[in-house]
Amino acid sequence: MAKEGNEDEMVGYRQQPGKLPFAKPGSGGKERFSRPTDEGLIPESQGGELAQPWGSHRHDNLVSGQVIGKPTALVDGRWKVTGQAQYGDDIRLPGELIARIIRSPHHYARVLSIDCSKAFELPGVVAIATGADAANKFGVLPVTKDEHAMAVDKVRHVGDLVACVAAEDEATAREAERLIEVEYEILDSIHDMRDGLKNNEYPIHDRGKYHIGNTNVQKRVFQEFGDVDGIKTNAIASHKENWLFAGVNHAATEPHAVVAHWDPSGRLTLYTPQQVPHYVHRALADVLEIPMHQINVHRTFVGGGFGGKSDPFPHEMCSAILARKSGRPVRITFDREEVYWINRGRHPSRIEMNLHADDKGRICGIETDALIDGGGFASFGHVTTYYNGVLHTAPYEIEAFHYTGARVWTNKPASGAMRGHGAVNSRCAVETGLDDLAEQLSVDPIDLRLANLLPPHSATITGFRVTSIGMRECLERVKEESCWDEKFRKMPLGKGIGIGCGFFISGSGLPIHWDPNKFPHATVHLKIDMDGGVTVHTGAAEIGQGSDTVVAQSVAEVLGLPLDMIRIRSRESDTAPVDLGSYSSRVTFMNANAAISAAMQIRDELLDATVEITGADREKLVIGDRRIFAKNDPAVGVSYLEALHKAQEDRGALVASGAYRTPPMGRVHKGAAAGLAPAYSFSAYVAEVSVDVETGQTKVDKVWAAHDCGKALNPLAVKGQIIGSCHMGMGQVLSEEMRYGRNGHLMNPDLLDYKIPSVHEMPEIIPIIVESNDPEGPFGAKEAGEGPLLPILPAVCNAVYDAVGVRTAELPITPDRLLRLIERKCKTEGIDDQLDLQSPRLAHSELQAVLAARAEEHSKRDLERRMNDDREPYHNGALFGLDPTTPPDEVDERWAVNVIPSDDYLAEPRLAGNAWKHTERRHRGDS
């Protein structure tokens, strides 16, 4: 075969002398050469051209220049664009029945009787189930299992499940739904979350000896760090705001759906679009009273999760129960309305935010009081209650921190986890508060932030271990690219610009099921046989965020293979190792780490085999594109397939299992584990808005969105996540709201009245990726899925203030709400025409120079700390003159950590603090 000139000049692999001149079995391709290594993807530390301003990384030597850092199309994308991706409702099994759920029409009622006789008479009805068929409780958190498949005794919100019916077709099932007669005794329902704090004749749940008073308080948290009493004496500026956040729903485009099928051997396969198949697996075993190994949870394609598909759901139990009764597969698909009845969206919240700054422009205190409305069930609420406080203790250094949180049950659909879990609302309150503090101090809000940041490798006031932190770079980039200095407080009335920051966990340090506690968080299995393709088994739930792709990329990179040689099997619990699922932004960090660890084992075996074939020095071997060769003499080497076949001698397929578990970290006080993460992401956004002062209509014109994701393994997906987060956050800040009427009815359970932004509402978004190279992240990566949502809300709120000079404390900022505020401002200022309003202006005070100088100094400090491997510990408080090397609570009495409120506090508690006025039943001795 004639050789083409330029191909000979390639860096490509040359056949080793003495090797047989025919193709290896299994090779069927047609490429003659490996691709030359892309030096732009190889880090400087390995002699490549990829700049590493943050230093080298422990995975640098695994980079083969294949796919890490390259914009990569999702590996399952082609299924989606051809219509061949099977989502929940697309699973059609022969002989399937269609089931419908009978839901409560009442907010709160006792179920007295259920009469199914008429429904059974309807031809085509095959099976009916009620609460009597499933007595066991379940719930996503083992400490708060409070759900039944269907109502046992009581229904707790409109739409709560009462019974379910399976029939030959949907029309029959719907007709049967009508014929099932349920007798209720209506109870007094509560809808205002503030009522949940009071004693009640019939609390929505009974927590036995842990029940708090006779109230509907599901969880209460109290945390004080530092000298909270000293705040008042230090503060020269204080901000106080009472926020009201409406509940919002994930509004994923795919309504929930599930198919259950018991196979002839008596095993259950549940097909469900789930973010956390493993928890469903556990819950099914509890409810059906069968061992877990008798169940195969099959995750279908997931049409959007955002936290809305991360609980084990009662309808999943219903389908399994009906399929067991009928002996046939049962499919349940929700109407859009039912999605709102199952909800699990962001908690409606009342947050009182107090921020204090001292004469040096330091944040000398944050006092937060958050009452959150959990709806009818616990869901993830235990965690949410903590997150509303602990997730705003960074990225700033704080002198004292007080948090009281309470989550109450009300007769609404349950709230739960939603993108930015628990952090979004309180972050919005903190960031707008900082804007107000900057205003009071007459300084630039970006400089105020820059002068108060924690350095890399530090501990927050609550004891979280911060490793990499790219907050400073995020702020500097958005400031520069948005031309902040030319615009802030300088634009005409109706035009405004605002800043917001964010901080989020990259995986939860403690898994939800931590017993036995040495289980890994993530496990990945690899299998490679003679064909050379790599099968990756992982339980990570691909929900569109690109987790399959990121795991495939990690394996491809370590083994030096093109992405098309990697196939992911992540669907079934029968084949996938246990994975905790796609929540708390854990997948990239934990699963890619596990995948790397598995791939490293295979890599070692391939290197050993290469040594055996070529006799080369193992230390000198490097992996390139489908070849392994000596770095000093590339002529000495073998193809990937040759090394593989050598390694397979006498044993067959190579298999490897890699796992990831978080390192030990954090403090020991009650609740210390909430918010702990192996790494944290940071982000800073600048939003530019136009407000029509005559109508109150707000339009976001442009957003500069900088996010520190450690290392963008797949920049295309990271940008997609940033832009998508902006979309969702913009919805919450401007238009989305679950509106409950006077009688507590949900008024907009559909996508017409629940307004998610359409393409016309979306501004231009400039995603800016900041790579801080996390020391423990896979190739340096951290999360990018949830953190980017946080800053958009306060950035828009602050921009609205810049535009018209009014601060909102109620979201969403709908035109009617904003117009009322504008009119009120005009009235108090005696202005007749809204167009005569003055938008705020800024004249810097002397403090501005102090802050700028401190920011400059800290910038140098941070650079030194991130580049210096041998670094001193840095505990929050050093900015206030404390010794950075010891946790302050160990040396200073005033810094004692409190998790129980004092009597002084209880004499005058804030709103959520009232939850602490009640005594747990076990302490009253009456149960």
Partner 1 sequence: MVQHRLPMLPSAGDVPWVASVNGVEKQLNIENNAILLDVLRDQAGSLGTKRGCDMGTCGCCSVLVNGEPRLSCLTLAAEAEDCEITTVEGLAEGHHLHPIQAMFTECGGSQCGFCTPGFLVVTSALLEENPSPSDEEIKCAIEGNLCRCTGYQQIVDSVRAASEILTSGESVADSTSPKSDPHPGFSRE
Rounded least distance, CB 271 to partner 1, Å: 13
In the region spanning residues 521 to 550, those forming contacts with partner 1, defined by CB under 8 A, are 531-533, 543-546
CA 460 to each of CA 453, 621, 897: distance values in angstroms, whole numbers, following the listed order: 10, 43, 13
Angstrom distance (rounded) from CA 234 to CA 399: 10
Site string for partner 1, 345-384 (x = CB under 8 A): ----------------------------------------
The residue from 58, 178, 827, 894 that contacts partner 1 (CB under 8 A) is 178
Angstrom distance (rounded) from CA 792 to CA 725: 8
Region near partner 1 per CB under 8 A, out of 198-206, 760-768, 910-918, 919-927: 760-768
Q: Could you tell me how many residues make up the chain?
A: 927
Region near partner 1 per CB under 8 A, out of 9-17, 264-272, 475-483, 590-598: 9-17
Rounded to a whole number of angstroms, the distance between the first and last alpha carbons of the chain is: 88
The residue from 229, 359, 485, 564 that contacts partner 1 (CB under 8 A) is 564
Rounded least distance, CB 81 to partner 1, Å: 4
The residue from 764, 857, 872, 890 that contacts partner 1 (CB under 8 A) is 764
Cβ–Cβ under 8 Å, residues 689 and 761: no
Indicate whether 899 belongs to the interface with partner 1 (CB under 8 A): no
C-beta of 760 vs 860, nearer to partner 1: 760
Indicate whether 251 belongs to the interface with partner 1 (CB under 8 A): yes
C-beta of 168 vs 192, nearer to partner 1: 168
Indicate whether 154 belongs to the interface with partner 1 (CB under 8 A): no
Tokens of 207: 């927590």
C-beta of 441 vs 703, nearer to partner 1: 703
Q: Among the residues of 634-709, which ranges form H helices? A: 640-648
CA 38, distance to chain mean position in Å, is: 33
C-beta of 594 vs 726, nearer to partner 1: 726
C-beta of 753 vs 856, nearer to partner 1: 753
Indicate whether 250 belongs to the interface with partner 1 (CB under 8 A): yes
Which segments of 118-264 are extended strands (E)? 125-130, 154-155, 161-167, 181-186, 217-225, 237-245, 257-262
Region near partner 1 per CB under 8 A, out of 277-285, 511-519, 725-733, 894-902: 725-733
| Total site size for partner 1, rule CB under 8 A | 102
Rounded least distance, CB 492 to partner 1, Å: 26
Indicate whether 26 belongs to the interface with partner 1 (CB under 8 A): yes
Rounded least distance, CB 376 to partner 1, Å: 19
Q: What is the 3-state secondary structure (H, E, C) of 811-869?
A: ECCCHHHHHHHHHHHHHHHCCCCHHHCCCCCCCCCCHHHHHHHHHHHHHHHHHHHHHCC
Rounded least distance, CB 562 to partner 1, Å: 4
C-beta of 159 vs 305, nearer to partner 1: 305
In the region spanning residues 852 to 891, those forming contacts with partner 1, defined by CB under 8 A, are none
The residue from 423, 561, 738, 855 that contacts partner 1 (CB under 8 A) is 561
Tokens of 862: 């941070």
C-beta of 694 vs 750, nearer to partner 1: 750
Angstrom distance (rounded) from CA 915 to CA 927: 20
Radius of gyration of the chain (CA): 29
CA pseudo-torsion sign 903, 904, 907, 910: negative
**Interior/surface letters 860-871, b for 16+ CB within 10 angstroms, e for the rest:** eebeebbeeeee
Region near partner 1 per CB under 8 A, out of 140-148, 576-584, 637-645, 658-666: 637-645
In the region spanning residues 291 to 320, those forming contacts with partner 1, defined by CB under 8 A, are 301-306
Tokens of 549: 């792709």
The residue from 117, 199, 253, 902 that contacts partner 1 (CB under 8 A) is 253
C-beta of 220 vs 250, nearer to partner 1: 250
Rounded least distance, CB 174 to partner 1, Å: 6
Indicate whether 720 belongs to the interface with partner 1 (CB under 8 A): yes
In the region spanning residues 32 to 91, those forming contacts with partner 1, defined by CB under 8 A, are 32-34, 73-74, 76-87, 89-90
In the region spanning residues 466 to 505, those forming contacts with partner 1, defined by CB under 8 A, are none
In the region spanning residues 182 to 221, those forming contacts with partner 1, defined by CB under 8 A, are 182-186
Angstrom distance (rounded) from CA 299 to CA 320: 15
Rounded least distance, CB 305 to partner 1, Å: 8
Indicate whether 96 belongs to the interface with partner 1 (CB under 8 A): no
C-beta of 76 vs 147, nearer to partner 1: 76
Residue 571 DSSP SS3: coil
C-beta of 786 vs 862, nearer to partner 1: 786
The residue from 24, 207, 360, 646 that contacts partner 1 (CB under 8 A) is 24
Cβ–Cβ under 8 Å, residues 424 and 826: no
Cβ–Cβ under 8 Å, residues 710 and 772: yes
Rounded least distance, CB 38 to partner 1, Å: 15
Tokens of 674: 């909430």
**How many other CB atoms are found less than 10 A from the CB of residue 485?**
11
The residue from 15, 117, 632, 927 that contacts partner 1 (CB under 8 A) is 15
Indicate whether 416 belongs to the interface with partner 1 (CB under 8 A): no
Indicate whether 701 belongs to the interface with partner 1 (CB under 8 A): no
Is residue 522 within a helix (H) or strand (E), and if so which, with residue range? Answer: strand 522-528
Angstrom distance (rounded) from CA 170 to CA 750: 21
> Which residues have C-beta within 8 Å of that of residue 880, sequence separation ≥ 6?
362, 364, 397, 399
C-beta of 161 vs 565, nearer to partner 1: 565
Indicate whether 29 belongs to the interface with partner 1 (CB under 8 A): yes
> Which residues have C-beta within 8 Å of that of residue 485, sequence separation ≥ 6?
479
Residue 547 DSSP SS3: helix
Region near partner 1 per CB under 8 A, out of 247-255, 395-403, 513-521, 570-578: 247-255
Rounded least distance, CB 91 to partner 1, Å: 9
DSSP letter at 35 equals P
CA atoms within 13 A on the CB side of 622: 18
Rounded least distance, CB 494 to partner 1, Å: 23
The residue from 139, 255, 329, 775 that contacts partner 1 (CB under 8 A) is 255
Indicate whether 639 belongs to the interface with partner 1 (CB under 8 A): yes
In the region spanning residues 605 to 634, those forming contacts with partner 1, defined by CB under 8 A, are 625-627
Calculate the dihedral angle through the C-alpha atoms of 504, 538, 639, 65, rounding to the nearest 10 degrees. Answer: -10
> Which residues have C-beta within 8 Å of that of residue 410, sequence separation ≥ 6?
190, 191, 192, 193, 195, 196, 204, 216, 373, 374, 375, 376
Rounded least distance, CB 628 to partner 1, Å: 12
Instruction: Give the DSSP per-residue string, 631-649.
Output: SS-TTSEEEHHHHHHHHHT
C-beta of 36 vs 53, nearer to partner 1: 36
CA atoms within 13 A on the CB side of 43: 20
C-beta of 255 vs 678, nearer to partner 1: 255
Indicate whether 142 belongs to the interface with partner 1 (CB under 8 A): no
Which segments of 529-565 are extended strands (E)? 534-538
Indicate whether 158 belongs to the interface with partner 1 (CB under 8 A): no
